[in-house]
Amino acid sequence: MNKISKEAAAFTALPLNIQNALKQNKRIVFIANNPSISTDKLEQLLRPDDVLVLFNHFINADFFANHLLASSLPKLLFFRQIGDSKLHFGLPPRSNNVAVMKRMAKAAPLGILLSNQPYQFPLLSDDPSPDDDPIDDDRILTLPPAVQVLLQDTAHHSVLSERHPVVEDYPYFTDIHSSAPSSGFLLYRLLLAAREYVQLLQKAPLPLQLLMIGFNDNDKTAHFWQGHNWEFERREMSSPPPEVEIIRQY
């Protein structure tokens, strides 16, 4: 696949709401699930022309749904398939922010991107590792109708293959089942390509800015799944291209 078609494939992989948001805004902000990221820090960094990218069971959910500025910003939520199961991280019956997602959709353009397959409406009995997430009173176990509607609407929802052309050079581990790029790296590559497509469409002198908050290029963070090629990802993230800023936090 040539460079132009790869960029187009990245852009069209996004929900329509996010495609439109990228044409109208100036910066894409990725927020890692890094507990060192405070809402005070986010208040300092976010701007009215941002599009936010959040992952799985994303942190600071109430802030993104309720804060005056943050709630008004377009948001892309990415939910990763768990291995080759029916489940996605961050969606029922796993720990989730579904109640917050309903509020987000009312406040600003929302895009929901699922890896590999549409939502399968899994049951607790479908969970390959049910002890990973404790069940408490706040955990929603089934997807409510309002969110089901979002997942049936191409304006809000699309599916992204973990083998998308933007990661065709990724060195997978053949001896590890479900080896794949990390969520952050997959979306980083996808939106790097998508922003170039927007630049071509708009004949802009520079691509959209990318701000990565809480993404680290070394092994100081506590847990890394061995099926991601962290060495490859950290090497690339250590030298970002122009118009990409990475704020590393530990």
Our count of domains for the chain comes to 1
Is the pLDDT at 231 greater than 90, yes or no? no
CA distance 64 to 68: 9
pTM of the model: 0.93
Task: Give Rg (Cα) of the chain.
Answer: 17
Is the pLDDT at 223 greater than 80, yes or no? no
**pLDDT tens digits, 162-218:** 989 999 988 877 766 677 888 989 999 999 999 999 999 999 999 999 999 988 765
The confidence score (pLDDT) of residue 164 equals: 94
Quickly list DSSP for 62-119.
HHHHHSTTGGGS-EEEEE-B-TTSS-BTTSTTSS--HHHHHHHHHHS-EEEEEESS--
pLDDT band at 113 (very low <50, low <70, confident <90, very high): very high
Instruction: Give the mean pLDDT of the chain.
Output: 90
Which structural domain range is residue 72 located in?
3-247
